[in-house]
Chain A
Amino acid sequence: MEKYDVAIIGGGSAGLAALKQLSNHKKQAVLLEAGNKIGSKNISGGILYSKKLKNGHVHNVEDVYGDIFLREAPVERKIKKYILHATSKDKIYSMDLTAAHEYESNFGYSVLMTKLNSWFAEQAAESAQKFGGGIIPGVHVSSLEWNKKTNTTIVTTDELEEFEVRAIIAADGVNSEIAQISSIPKFTPQQLYQGVKVVVKLPEDIINERFEVESNEGAAHLFAGDVTINHIGGGFLYTNSSTLSVGAVYHFDSLLENPTEPYTLVDSMLRNPMISEFIKDQVPSRRKIDKSLPQEEQLRIRFAITKLLKTWNELRDASLSKGGREELLKSGKYNSEKAINERLSSIQEQLTEKYGVGFVTDYVEVEYGAKLIPDGKRCRMVKPYHKNILFVGDAAGRGIFIGPRIEGLNVGIDDAVRAADAVTRALDRNNFTSNYFGEYYSQSVANSPYTRDMKRIDKDYLKIFLDAAKDIPKDIISAKYGTIIKLMSSDTFRSVAVKLANILGYERLLPIVESEDTFVKVPIEVAKRLGEKVTATYVPSIPSIDDRVAKLKFDDDNTSHIKVLKPQSEFMKKMVTLCPTKCYSLENEQVVLQHEGCIECGTCSHETDWKHPRGEKGIVYEYG
Chain B
Amino acid sequence: MAFEPSPADSSARMSAGVMAGQAARGVAGIARFVLVVAATFLGLLAITFFIGRVVPIDPVLAVVGDRATAAVYEAARERMGLDRPLLVQFFSYVGDVLTGNLGQSISTGRAVVDDLGRFFPATLEMATVGILIGVALGVPMGVTAARRQGSWADQVIRVLGLLGYSVPAFWLGLVGLAVFYAGLGWVAGPGRIDIFYEGLVEPVTGIYLIDSLMAGEWEVFWNAASHLLLPASILGFFSLAYIARMTRSFMLDQLSQEYVTTARVKGVPERRVIWRHAFYPIRIQLITVIGLSYASLLEGSVMIETVFSWPGIGRYLTVALLNADMNAVLGATLVIGSVFILINKVSDVLYRILDPRARR
Q: Do A and B come from one complex?
A: no
Residues of chain A having any CB pair with chain B under 8 Å: none
